[in-house]
Amino acid sequence: MSSNALREDFPLLNSEKTIYLDNAATSQKPSSVIEAERNFYLNQNANPLRGFYPLSLEATKAYEDARRKVASFINAKTDQEIVFTRNTTESMNLVAYSYGLSFIKPGDEIVVSILEHHSNMLPWRMVAEKTGAKLKYLFCDENGLITDRNINEVITKDTKLVAIGQVSNVLGCKNPIEKVIKKVHENGGVAVIDAAQSAPHMPINVQSLDADFLAFSGHKLLGPMGIGVLYVKENILKKMPPFLTGGEMIESVTLEKVTYAEGPQKFEAGTVNAAGAVGLKAAIDYIESIGFDEISKKEDSLTKRAIDKLSAIPHVHILGDKDYKNHHGIVSFTIDNVHPHDVSEILSSEGICVRAGHHCAQPLLKHLGVNSCTRASFMFYNTEEEIDAFVLNLSRIREKMGYGK
């Protein structure tokens, strides 16, 4: 299908005169996702897991069907390895507070990639501070490349946890997580994978990756805001204490003793976001109807077009690799003497939505020698015409700022 045909499925893209290039922050939602949430509230609205009347049982089935869909999507061994959260940030904090504070000890090493979003960096700083563990960083070169030498030097016999994203939210580069996972397992540690930027764009197989933890957010995956996924290997999940306590995460409570629920329910305290889970299932269904081969082909084409055209504009500097294949729909850049916030404001006046700032990755930007940058990020529903309009308006910014052509 052409991008123009696919756009018909996205109401906002059809109703607004907007060129939306901030997909790495959140994606637009197809009608099927919006309708799935609407249908839940119209026809299935009851608390899952809490009632034995037909409406509650139907809500429970819809919620657990969503869990099974997610398990299939990432090839988990069982749906009992899927915990629903609010987003990737909550997933990482759940792992940090439940697993990290319980199993990381003084003298252990925690390794974090310098490329990480703050949500996969700050929880591990907290764990290190509270446990007395040593926090180390896995650095990359200017193109975002983490070498085998980096991995072998930084991950040691004392490394008990490594946190790394599959795809950088700033550079778009894909990290060698397979090598990282293998190395940390050789030393008896675990790997925590942030898949927020990869899940919308490429297939994920947690079994072949041998990931211990993997998280992503529904809102970047065409799904609703407020629903996230945490995958945990079942044997690890069984050992972890609850993150939050309260309703629905218990087996029994007396004045003297509490027995917690088994499986993911132990980590889903209170009333769950059932409508969000149902919407996420619809989003995955939509992605699977297109297929990742088609998605990658479209997004690679758009990324190549953007990089080729941006590279021809004087004073524009693309961060990361110049090869479009190492950007996965993300192009971050700076313009000489023009602040990224000004770039964003000027493009916004032309109806073009991009992101400007440090992108919740300040250590990475400092490592690359910049304070902030502008980021354009693409999805399969974007068009070549949108890329051309973005580049044309970008090429005029320095002139508008008084620097001449």
Residue 354 contacts residue 22 (beta carbons within 8 Å): yes
Q: What is the pLDDT of residue 405?
A: 62
The domains of the chain, with CATH numbers, are 3-21+291-400 (3.90.1150.10), 33-287 (3.40.640.10)
Distances (CA, A) of 155 to 112, 135, 138, 273, 403: 10, 11, 8, 38, 48
Cβ-based neighbour number of residue 383 at 10 Å: 18
Query: What is the spatial order of strands in the sheet that 134-138 belongs to?
Result: 82-85, 228-232, 213-217, 190-194, 159-165, 109-113, 134-138
Residue 394 contacts residue 374 (beta carbons within 8 Å): no
Mapped onto helix, strand or coil, the DSSP state of residue 51 is: coil
Q: What is the pLDDT of residue 5?
A: 78
Q: What is the pLDDT of residue 51?
A: 80
- Look up residue 379 and give its two tokens: 């999805």
Residue 170 contacts residue 142 (beta carbons within 8 Å): no
pLDDT digits (tens, 9 = 90+) for 124-154: 999 999 999 999 999 999 999 999 999 999 9
Q: CA-to-CA distance for 38 and 47, rounded, in angstroms?
A: 16
pLDDT digits (tens, 9 = 90+) for 48-92: 987 889 999 999 999 999 999 999 999 999 999 999 999 999 999
- Look up residue 154 and give its two tokens: 């930084």
Q: CA-to-CA distance for 16 and 351, rounded, in angstroms?
A: 9
| 161 closest CA partner among 97, 99, 239, 208 | 99
- Look up residue 164 and give its two tokens: 């790394």
Pairing assessment for the beta strands 355-357 and 213-217 based on DSSP bridges: unpaired
Nearby residues of 249 by Cβ (< 8 Å), 6 or more positions away: 242, 260, 261, 265, 266, 267, 268, 269
pLDDT tens by residue, the chain, 405 residues = 666 778 999 999 987 789 999 999 999 999 999 999 999 999 999 999 878 899 999 999 999 999 999 999 999 999 999 999 999 999 999 999 999 999 999 999 999 999 999 999 999 999 999 999 999 999 999 999 999 999 999 999 999 999 999 999 999 999 999 999 999 999 999 999 999 999 999 999 999 999 999 999 999 999 999 999 999 999 999 999 999 999 889 889 999 999 999 999 999 999 999 999 999 999 999 999 999 999 999 999 999 999 999 999 999 999 999 899 999 999 999 999 999 999 999 999 999 999 999 999 999 999 999 999 999 999 999 999 999 999 999 999 999 998 876
**Residue found under tokens 């990020």:** 377
Residue 80 contacts residue 234 (beta carbons within 8 Å): yes
Residues serving a catalytic function are: 360
pTM above 0.75, yes or no: yes
SS3 content of the chain, % helix, strand, coil (to 5): 45, 15, 40
Query: What is the spatial order of strands in the sheet that 355-357 belongs to?
Result: 316-318, 330-335, 373-377, 355-357
Mapped onto helix, strand or coil, the DSSP state of residue 47 is: coil
Q: What is the pLDDT of residue 55?
A: 94
Distances (CA, A) of 193 to 60, 161, 197, 299: 29, 11, 11, 23
CA 184 to chain centre: 22
Q: CA-to-CA distance for 161 and 159, rounded, in angstroms?
A: 6
| 191 closest CA partner among 66, 95, 305 | 95
For the chain, the distance separating the N- and C-terminal CA atoms, rounded to the nearest angstrom, is: 39
Q: CA-to-CA distance for 86 and 125, rounded, in angstroms?
A: 21
| DSSP H or E stretch at residue 335 | strand 330-335
| DSSP H or E stretch at residue 392 | helix 384-395
Q: What is the pLDDT of residue 1?
A: 62
Q: What is the pLDDT of residue 6?
A: 87
| 268 closest CA partner among 243, 238, 241 | 243
Q: What is the pLDDT of residue 49?
A: 84
- Look up residue 314 and give its two tokens: 């004087």
| 193 closest CA partner among 204, 202, 108 | 204
| 230 closest CA partner among 261, 281, 277, 194 | 194
Q: What is the pLDDT of residue 378?
A: 98
Nearby residues of 185 by Cβ (< 8 Å), 6 or more positions away: 191, 210
